[in-house]
Amino acid sequence: MSFEETRAHLIAENAEFRELEQQHREYDELLKDLMRRKYLTPEDQLREVELKKKKLALKDRMLQLAIEYEQSQQV
Whether 9 shows a pLDDT value over 80: the answer reads: yes
pLDDT tens track for 23-68: 999 999 999 999 999 999 999 999 999 999 999 999 999 999 999 9
pTM of the model: 0.87
Question: Quick one: pLDDT at residue 2?
Answer: 85
Note whether 24 and 51 are within 8 A (CB). Answer: no
Nearest by Cα to 26 from 5, 49, 54 = 54
With both helix axes pointing from N to C terminus, report the angle between 42-74 and 3-13 in degrees, rounded to the nearest 10: 100
Note whether 62 and 70 are within 8 A (CB). Answer: no
Q: Is 8 left (phi over 0), alpha (psi -120 to 50) or beta?
A: alpha
What are the domain boundaries of the chain? 3-74
